[in-house]
Amino acid sequence: MKFLLFTLVTRTPDPHTGVLPDTHERLRSVVDQARVAEELGYDGFAVGERHEDPFLSASPPVLLSHIAAVTSRITLFTAVTTLSLLDPVRAFEDYSTLDNLSGGRLELIIGKGNGAAQAELFHVTTDDQWDRNREGYELFRALWASDQVTWSGRFRPELVAAKALPRPYQPSIRIWHGSATSRDSVELAARHGDPLFSANVTNPIEPYAELVRHYRERWAHYGHEPADALVGAGTAGFHLAPTSQQALDVYRPIFQARLALSRKLGLPIVFETLEDFAARSSALIGSPEQVLDKVGRQHEQFGHEVIHLSSERDGRTEAQHRGSLELFQQEVAPELRRRIPSRPLAAGRTIPRPELSGVTP
């Protein structure tokens, strides 16, 4: 199994002090989190994309390019790239540049995105976001594969023998399709033989497990070898401690702050108590033994090879946060890697090119 640390770069008041970090401080903290991820042996670092409060993750390629400059080993992920909002040619240029700067350590998770700001800023609505996502993906994939692309569609001007630069470092790039409950993303992933990354963060795991089963059915329908299907899954929260009670005590203010934010934003409340959240959601909050057991039970439902864990301190002390990440790597990750074989991520597949040999990305 492979393990990513993940952030949406949420900017909210500290649950203990009420202090709101400034933008510069918050963005710099993400770079620091990526350094820690590499130092502790995590396999990847993922940055989401949102375009509204309370998120500062509007530009993943810029942030990931900075992270590429201060790391050398981990795979860099988007989680997700909202291709429904982006010009696919411009998105290709940004991510091909990042692919080169990182020495081929890039993987993308794409999705339609969500939130009211999409309609306000980009004039993308629920009526056309799926079509935009599909069309953007198919053009992006064509641009990555060839430097002579002729194409026409609904949402941007046509291309005739177009050459988009720079050409990418990786001749082909793994593109995951991120989805919470939508079968549109599943259908697109299965049709093109791409992996699925289940969001798995809002509800109990049952609807996400049903979506993964549907993905595997559609994968087989399109004639792909069943064993080649690749699945990743998110986690709704994360804190590891020597005992369950210690983990719950540390995480309780984080849960209460998130509950308050959900109510403020008018989001549905699925888990009213931390205990219910820890028991029935995908959150990994507890002792190493509890987390191993829970990931094992989820793997029975998903068959997933990759999981993401939140990289955020969320008001925890530096010692609490780092201690949780270290404990996971010491007592959980080795056992899950032993139990659950997984295919290599981009950084593990990349063979250094001669012009980059001896150069640290």
Q: Is the peptide bond before 195 cis (omega within 30 degrees of 0)?
A: no
- The pairing of strands 106-111 and 81-82 is parallel
Other beta carbons within 10 angstroms of residue 161's beta carbon come to 8
Backbone φ and ψ for 197, nearest 5 degrees, come out as -120, 110
CA atoms within 13 Å, Cβ hemisphere of 134: 15
pLDDT of res. 353: 55
pLDDT of res. 118: 86
pLDDT of res. 277: 97
pLDDT of res. 351: 59
pLDDT of res. 36: 98
pLDDT of res. 16: 85
b/e code 62-97 from CB counts within 10 Å (16+ = b)? ebbbbbbeebebbbbbbbbbbbbbbebbebbbbbbb
CATH number for the domain running over 2-356: 3.20.20.30
Contacts of 332 (CB under 8 A, 6+ apart): 240, 288, 291, 292, 295
Q: Which of the residues in the chain have pLDDT under 50?
A: 354, 356-361
pLDDT of res. 361: 35
Contacts of 90 (CB under 8 A, 6+ apart): none
What is the rounded CA–CA span in Å between residue 49 and residue 57? 5
Backbone φ and ψ for 267, nearest 5 degrees, come out as -85, 150
Sequence ranges of the domains in the chain? 2-356
Contacts of 17 (CB under 8 A, 6+ apart): 315
